């Protein structure tokens, strides 16, 4: 065989209900004595966060909360977090929450000992080698949503407010040392967030499965992640207390982030600029774009989708899978068009220009040209 490829897989994951109780021990095992717990503003005062802080303090651990994090985190959030971390003499970070909290926490831990600007470490070529690895603090990740899978990733997505562009900051040592994946922590999620994050997990798995390239490990993980998402997302939307379904969605989220090292594609390439410009929920934006990108890629992915449909127990055809996606969106009240989601066509050209240079665009099965990006955007505006 002449094929050559590089494969990386996640860290230690402690999965199951009640595993949050192991957080003090995990900190000790990781060598973190004085952690900074980073989450987003919406989570900071909720019982899930306050109970975790109490758990740590009852165990004699000196922890501080940093929650100045927007739903679409920006550079200023990272800078503020680094300042708090340095002034407090913290020796590690607990990344707590959904994608925004997890990503921001990881980048704060990464930037803790760096002297160069954050954008010098964007995921371009070997820019990550510019970092001083000795300055990167250890991270423990505790997801409270089932979507981004950032808990098993080596990067964080941060918005550059000057250019209104989402950028990926990457370093191998941003991978958390330990993940505590406790499905009970996701029970209190609002329905909109449950559905949006669930579609993010599905989009990660689906785009990874469809991305070109040789990565059978990622393909297998993505395939099962799609099945878990499609079967369990309706269950958690209908019954937020379904712990088994919550657990399956948490698994699917981690699987998606594991698989997408193979690549993502047009769904994310278009969602990123829309999210940066209109401040939309990332996962729900993916859900809106999903069928339009599938249709645009059909000629390149039909054979794969036929196999996927058969695996899901559907008729073995592209149309059967497309119908399943549309039915799932409709059943879960996902907007069918961008205008229903509060997006207009006023920045159409800017969105297309940003989409084709987005780091995820290169994984699209069909070359994501400006013309194709505009066509997909127009179809998502019209519902065609």
Predicted pLDDT of residue 353: 97
| pLDDT for residue 1 | 59
Q: Are residues 175 and 242 in the same domain?
A: no
Residue 259 lies in a domain: yes
For residue 153, give its domain range.
Answer: 12-186
In a shared domain, residues 216 and 141 = no
What is the rounded distance in angstroms from the CA atom of residue 229 to the CA atom of residue 200? 10
Tokens of residue 194, six digits: 């449950």
2, part of any domain: no
- Among 286, 274, 33, smallest CA distance to 148 is for 286
pLDDT of residue 196: 96
Write out pLDDT tens, residues 136-150. 999 999 999 998 999
β-pairing verdict for 92-97 and 139-143: parallel
Q: Contact at 8 Å (CB) between 245 and 230?
A: no
Structure confidence by residue, pLDDT tens digits, 249-303: 999 999 999 999 999 999 999 999 999 999 999 999 999 999 999 999 999 999 9
Nearest to 200 by CA among 133, 136, 151, 271: 271
Token pair in block for residue 126 = 């070997």
Of 186, 210, 243, at which residue does a domain stop?
Answer: 186
Residue 280 belongs to some domain of the structure? yes
Residue 69: which region, alpha, beta or left (left: phi > 0; alpha: psi -120 to 50)? beta
Look at the block and give the residue holding tokens 């989601």: 341
The position carrying tokens 């925004």 is 100
Tell whether 3 is covered by a domain. no
Q: Are residues 169 and 237 in the same domain?
A: no
Alpha-carbon span 304 to 250, nearest angstrom: 25
Domain of 137: which CATH number?
3.40.50.1970
Same domain, 146 and 224: no
* Backbone φ, ψ for residue 163 (5° rounding): -105, -5
Tokens of 345: 């066509």
Q: What's the CA gap between 81 and 67, in Å, rounded?
A: 8
At residue 186's C-alpha, the angle toward residues 190 and 239, to 5°, is 65
53 and 180, same domain (yes or no) = yes
In a domain, 4, yes or no: no
pLDDT of residue 6: 77
Residues 180 and 198 in one domain: no
Ranges under pLDDT 70 in the chain: 1
**Does a structural domain hold residue 7?**
no
278 and 301: one domain?
Answer: yes
> Domain check: are 91 and 180 in the same one?
yes
Q: What is the 3-state secondary structure (H, E, C) of the chain?
A: CCCCCCCCCCCEEEECCCHHHHHHHHHHHHCCCCEEEECCHHHHCCHHHHHHHHHHHHCCCCCEEECCCCCCCEHHHHHHHHHHHHHHCCCEEEEEECHHHHHHHHHHHHHCCCCCCHHHHECCCCHHHHCCHHHCCCEEEEECCCCCCHHHCCEEEEEECCCCEEEEEECHHHCCCEEEECHHHHCCCCHHHHHHHHHHHHHHHHHHHHCCCCCHHHHHHHHHHHHHHHHHHHHHHHCCCCHHHHHHHHHHHHHHHHHCCCCCCHHHHHHHHHHHHHCCCHHHHHHHHHHHHHHHCHHHHHHHHHHHHHHCCCCCCHHHHHHHHHHHHHHCCCCCCCHHHCCCCCCHHHHHHHHCCCCCHHHCCCCCCHHHHHHHHHHHHHCC
The count of structural domains within the chain is 2
**CATH for 231:** 1.20.1090.10
Domain for residue 61, yes or no? yes
Q: Do both 116 and 222 map to the same domain?
A: no
Q: Do residue 50 and residue 179 come from a single domain?
A: yes
Q: 220 and 311, same structural domain?
A: yes
Domain boundary among 154, 186, 218: 186
In this structure, what token pair is assigned to residue 198? 């669930």
Q: Final residue of a domain: which of 170, 186, 202?
A: 186
Q: Are 156 and 169 in contact (CB under 8 A)?
A: yes
Q: Are residue 45 and residue 179 in the same domain, yes or no?
A: yes
Is 6 domain-assigned? no
- Are 185 and 130 spatial neighbours (Cβ–Cβ below 8 Å)? no
Is residue 299 within 8 A of residue 365, CB to CB? The reply is no
């Amino acid at each position: 065989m002449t094929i050559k490829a590089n494969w990386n897989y996640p860290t230690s994951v402690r999965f199951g209900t009640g595993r949050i109780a192991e957080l003090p021990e995990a900190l000790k095992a990781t060598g973190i004595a004085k952690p900074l717990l980073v989450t987003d503003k919406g989570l900071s005062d909720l019982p899930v966060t306050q109970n975790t802080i109490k758990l740590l303090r009852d165990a004699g651990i000196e922890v501080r909360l940093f929650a100045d994090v927007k739903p679409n985190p920006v550079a200023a959030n990272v800078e503020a977090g680094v300042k708090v971390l340095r002034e407090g003499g913290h020796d590690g970070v607990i990344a707590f929450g959904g994608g925004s909290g997890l990503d921001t926490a990881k980048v704060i831990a990464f930037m803790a000992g760096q002297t160069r600007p954050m954008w010098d470490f964007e995921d371009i070529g070997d820019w990550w080698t510019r970092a001083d690895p000795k300055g990167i603090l250890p991270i423990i990740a505790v997801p409270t949503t089932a979507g981004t899978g950032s808990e098993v990733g080596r990067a964080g997505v941060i918005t550059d407010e000057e250019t209104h562009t989402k950028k990926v900051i990457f370093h191998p040592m941003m991978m958390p040392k330990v993940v505590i994946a406790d499905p009970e922590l996701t029970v209190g999620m609002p329905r909109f967030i449950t559905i949006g994050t669930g579609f993010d997990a599905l989009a990660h798995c689906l785009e990874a499965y469809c991305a070109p390239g040789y990565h059978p490990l990622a393909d297998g993980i993505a395939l099962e992640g799609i099945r878990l998402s499609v079967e369990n997302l309706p269950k958690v939307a209908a019954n937020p207390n379904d712990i088994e379904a919550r657990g399956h969605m948490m698994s699917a989220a981690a699987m998606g982030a594991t698989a997408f090292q193979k690549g993502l594609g047009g769904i994310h390439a278009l969602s990123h600029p829309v999210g940066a410009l209109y401040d939309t929920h990332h996962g729900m934006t993916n859900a809106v774009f999903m069928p339009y990108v599938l249709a645009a890629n059909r000629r390149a992915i039909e054979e794969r989708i036929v196999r996927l449909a058969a695996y899901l127990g559907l008729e073995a055809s592209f149309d059967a899978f497309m119908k399943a996606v549309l039915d799932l969106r409709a059943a879960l009240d996902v907007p069918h068009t961008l205008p229903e989601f509060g997006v207009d066509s006023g920045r159409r050209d800017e969105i297309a220009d940003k989409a084709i240079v987005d780091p995820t665009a290169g994984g699209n099965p069909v070359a994501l040209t400006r013309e194709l990006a505009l066509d997909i955007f127009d179809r998502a505006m019209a519902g065609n």
